[in-house]
A and B are shown apart, each in its own frame.
Chain A
Amino acid sequence: MKEYFSNIWVGLSTIAIGMKVTFKHLFVPAVTIQYPNVRVELPERERNRLYVNMDDCIGCDQCSRACPVSCIEIETVKGLPTEDLGKTSNGKKKALWVTKFNIDFAKCCYCQLCVFPCPTECIYMTDVYEFSEFQRNNLIYDFVTLTPQEREQKKLNYQKFEAEKAAEKAAKKPVTPAAEIKAEVKVKTETPPPSSDNSQQSNLKEPGENKGS
């Protein structure tokens, strides 16, 4: 009998306690937010969509190689000796035309490993995190600033240049093979190269120097 009444008492009193708790929560400010109107402030070092500043990109391919999921695709074409590609913001000379710089954000795992190797700090994380698409292909971002025609043009230019050089070599070879070796030695020792003929060759070597540095 005692248990019976204590059951009733426990039942009623615990309901009262529970109701008190829920009533208090009725006036607690909501912890949720109205998302598209109100946004949570992102942490300082958040990792979201990548951005590539193509003005600074030298086409060194280091980000692509650092990528664990191979989502960055880079193709470059050597610039012609006559062309001036300008300098990056931290003073590095650009030597390559970047004809393809695709990042596939469907593959990207937002690990930020591509950001650190970049010698010119031109690839970095932004605070954009709303970029869903209906087509998976739309997630492949093209960062190259050149138009498709220009890209083709740069490739053709270089092929033409190579062909001309090869033809030149082929023309020179049978006459004086020794003279050419001498010229190469000259280029290595002389800085800066004075004649236009030599400067062509030194320009072509620059990418190699870059990789070494």
Chain B
Amino acid sequence: MMYDFFVDLLGNEILAAIVTGVPPLVFILVFVLFAVWLERKVSAHMQDRLGPMRTGWHGYLQTIADLIKLIQKEDISASANDKPLFNLAPVLVFAGTYAAFAAIPFSSYYIGSNLDLGIFFIIGISGLVVAGILMAGWSSNNKYSMLGAMRSAAQIISYEIPTIIVVLTVVMITRTLNLHTLSEIQTGYFWNWMIFGGPTAGLEKFLLIPLMFIGFLIIYTSMLAEVNRTPFDIPEAESELVSGYHTEYSGMKFAMFFLAEYANMFAVSAIVSVLFLGGYQSPIGYLGNLFDAPWLIPVEQFFWFTAKGTFFVFVQMWLRWTLPRLRVDQLMALCWKYLIPIAFVNLIIVGLITVL
């Protein structure tokens, strides 16, 4: 593991922890630069437009240009704002997202912290994001921000239930909460992935495939709602609430929310891919094994992990430009009438299968 390696190297646990924390941060920054550009290009091409074209080849430097613009902006805060909370909120939102990256296994050799309660930690620490969002809405002293924050909190909390139930379903089969072990279990080829029943065999695998597929759809939908993406973007519904809880923010504080949003998108995609699509495992075997070059394997694993994460981020964008926004009652009906009952039934059936 990375952390142990750095402890040995530096001889100091605090320094090692800091050094281990840098790669996810770098990854988040680079990924967000790429994802914002991707989002703009995908949305443009889905609407038969071109999107950014002037900054570099097909506008690939557009996000950097935007970032420079945001840095230059004046840091505005209204006189009626609750200043300490107002300044703390974006940091808290980003911290919640960044902390989730600690337990995500990027490859078999790199995982920020090899927690035995990995997935539990991620779900727990995501609660910090809700606190940050509520704080932002409250301290803005603006009715739109407040409404957006309330909606966001209500939505994230209610959609956490189907997420957790589906996670439990997976955990019942794998019998571990450690994301690294969870990925290792799904090693081999793609038919060992959890969505194809995991490393089980025979009738059990055959029975698990449809159930796992349903679980995958439920967790993807509820994760989509947790990151406030369309069709579940009622917390920042432009046509109703200007832009929700970050209406009053500008400049770098707004950039923090933006960074957290896109980092969250990747975190969620990464969790889905770890739980159901083998995480960093390659679907078709490793070139490192083929050419007898063991150093190549972690690189390939990192590639597959990023590819899976980016694909799910792309699907999120795809859904955004396909579906209209849900109404609040439809949002709640989807969660409480459809996702939760189905997830529970799924849980019970999978439980019976694993026990028998």
Q: Are B322 and A18 in contact (CB under 8 A)?
A: yes
Known: A8-B338, A32-B48, A34-B50. A26 touches B322 (CB 8 A): no
Q: Does A15 contact B (CB under 8 A)?
A: yes
Residues of A within 8 A of B50 (CB): 30, 32, 34
Contact check, B318 vs A23: say whether CB atoms are below 8 A apart.
yes
0 or 1 for each of A1-28: is its CB under 8 Å from B? (1 = yes): 0000001100010010011011101111
Indicate the size class of the contact surface on chain A: 10 to 19
Interface residue? A175 (CB, 8 A): no
> Closest Cβ of chain A: how far from B240's Cβ, in Å?
22
Whether the Cβ atoms of A22 and B46 lie closer than 8 Å is yes
With CB as the reference atom, state the residue of chain A lying closest to B334: A11
- B47 within 8 Å of A by Cβ? yes
- How many Å lie between the Cα of A29 and that of B49 in the bound state? 8
Task: Give A19 to B44 CA distance when docked, in angstroms.
Answer: 15
Min distance, Cβ A194 to any Cβ of chain B, angstroms: 73
Q: Are B48 and A31 in contact (CB under 8 A)?
A: yes
Residues A26 and B323 in contact, CB atoms below 8 Å apart: no
Q: Is B241 an interface residue (CB 8 A)?
A: no
Contacts of B47 in A (CB 8 A): 25
Asked if B49 and A21 sit within 8 Å, CB to CB, the answer is: no
Which one of A8, A18, A27 lies within 8 Å of B323 (CB-CB)?
A: A18
Indicate the member of A8, A18, A26, A31 with the most B CB atoms within 10 Å: A26
Q: Kindly state whether residue B45 has any CB partner on chain A within 8 Å.
A: yes
B41 to chain A, nearest CB (A): 10
Query: B146 CB to closest chain A CB, in angstroms?
Result: 31
Q: Which residues of B contact A28 (CB under 8 A)?
A: 45, 48
Per CB-CB distance, the 3 closest pairs between chain A and chain B, nearest first, are A18-B322, A30-B50, A22-B322
Listed by A's residue number, 27 A-B pairs whose Cβ atoms lie within 8 Å are A8-B338, A12-B217, A15-B319, A15-B322, A18-B323, A19-B318, A19-B319, A21-B322, A22-B318, A22-B321, A23-B318, A25-B45, A25-B46, A25-B47, A26-B42, A26-B46, A27-B45, A28-B45, A29-B48, A30-B45, A30-B48, A30-B50, A31-B48, A31-B49, A32-B48, A34-B50, A34-B53
